Amino acid sequence: MMKKTIFSGMQATGNFHIGNWLGAARNWAHLSADYNCLYCVVDLHALTVRQDPKALSQSAYSVLAWYIALGLNPEDNILYFQSHVPAHAELAWILNCFTYVGELSRMTQFKDKSAKNEDNINAGLYTYPVLMAADILLFQTHLVPVGDDQRQHLELTRDVAQRFNAIYGDVFVVPEPYIPKVGARIMGLLNPEGKMSKSGDNPNDCIFLSDEPDAILKKFKRAVTDSDNAVFASPEKPGITNLLSIYSCVTGKTLDESVAAFAASGYGDFKTRVGEAVVEALAPYRAEYDRLMADRAYLDSVLQSGAAKAQALAAPTLVRVKEAIGLPV
Ligand code: TYM
């Protein structure tokens, strides 16, 4: 039987943080046994916010190195930079013509990002979800493993695919989201009402995978809690609930087991132990990441073969799309 296809991506901006890891990449490494897996570093998407050219390139390699360090073996997974495969941008243009302005105006990420970048609300920020739909549909993707914040973009991807299929026949597989039960929305440590994000104002809100162990422990000690000193999960306790989710993701314990582990703990002890568990879980990956970042030739060889494989897989879909709509091929 033909294996189904998995596609996911991460922006080439800033640093990889534990939200990216626990909500998304953590769930990717074991999938290659059962699926054809493609993981892209989406550098074109990153351009929707003004980037420093050197930092952008460095971030793109850094995301690739984390992919590999976190267990995505390039022999079993196709890893590449989005800008190395022009079919992404080509399909995005076509899908732009099948996506309504009204749909894009409803995207919460667009609203959030335009509020944060008032002086640069560019057209790319607006059509960002169409490029994402193209990323996914280009490979006849069945499953898209992402964090909860991408749910709305995936709904749009499905709508665009179904709209196109309704006119031209079954050209695209209609993808399903694959969102973890725990860890799908890691919240900020200082503001547990908002998701942990690279673009936040305060670096203490966010744990980066490349943070030194001491810095990680300090950030956890500063995490915002509440005043009743009892460790359990509840919507009224967003800070504690977030720390419990992080602990349960990195230790593999269920949420109930995690609550039980802290039955006799006050918040001080709880926060220290969550920090220690994260440091311990990250230790093997950090060394591998450092090794990979020092080997640019190897990363370039991964990129070259990844882009060639992705381009070959994308080509038949692009031909089908062009034939369907009447572009000469
Ligand atoms: P990006 O780069 O913002 O995030 C990459 C992945 O990390 C997840 N994530 C989180 N999960 C849990 N808690 C958080 N605080 C958290 N922050 C981020 C995201 O859900 C995502 O899975 N638009 C995408 C990139 C993209 C993409 C695609 C993804 C472009 N094309 C095609 C899948 C398929 C984005 O901005 O992710």
DSSP letters of 71-94? T--TTTEEEEEGGG-THHHHHHHH
**Binned average pLDDT, 10 residues per bin, the chain of 329 residues:** 93 92 94 97 96 95 98 98 98 98 96 91 97 98 97 98 98 97 95 87 91 97 93 95 97 95 94 98 96 98 98 98 97
Paired tokens of 93: 């243009």
Handedness of CA 110, 113, 114, 120 (dihedral sign): negative
**List 198, 221, 253, 309, catalytic entry:** 198
Q: What is the pLDDT of residue 147?
A: 96
Residues in CB range of 243: below 8 A, 6 or more apart: 220, 223, 225, 270, 271, 274
Which amino acid, one-letter code, is at 223? A
Residues in CB range of 283: below 8 A, 6 or more apart: 213
Q: What is the pLDDT of residue 14?
A: 75
Q: What is the pLDDT of residue 75?
A: 97
Residue among 207, 229, 228, 329 at smallest CA distance from 276 = 207
Alpha helices by DSSP H, the chain: 18-23, 43-46, 53-69, 87-96, 101-105, 108-116, 123-137, 151-168, 213-222, 238-251, 255-261, 267-293, 296-325
Whether 3 sits among the annotated catalytic residues: the reply is no
Residue appearing with tokens 């799309």? 321
Q: Alpha carbon of 157 to those of 130, 150, 169: distances in Å? A: 7, 11, 17
Question: What is the spatial distance between Cα 12 and Cα 46, in angstroms, rounded to a whole number?
Answer: 6
Site to probe by mutation for ligand 1, drawn from 31, 146, 193 as the one with most ligand atoms within 8 Å of Cβ, is 146
Pocket of ligand 1 contains residue 45 by CB under 6 Å: yes
Residue among 268, 272, 271, 245 at smallest CA distance from 257 = 245
Residue appearing with tokens 């926060």? 271
Site to probe by mutation for ligand 1, drawn from 16, 20, 176 as the one with most ligand atoms within 8 Å of Cβ, is 20
Q: What is the pTM of this model?
A: 0.96
Q: What is the pLDDT of residue 1?
A: 67
Q: What is the pLDDT of residue 203?
A: 87
Q: What is the pLDDT of residue 2?
A: 86
Phi-psi region of 148 (alpha: psi -120 to 50; beta: other; left: phi over 0): alpha
Closest atom of ligand 1 to 13 CA is 2
Question: What is the spatial distance between Cα 301 and Cα 40, in angstroms, rounded to a whole number?
Answer: 15
Pocket of ligand 1 contains residue 195 by CB under 6 Å: yes
Whether 198 sits among the annotated catalytic residues: the reply is yes
Paired tokens of 156: 């749009």
Nearest Cα residue to atom 16 of ligand 1: 19
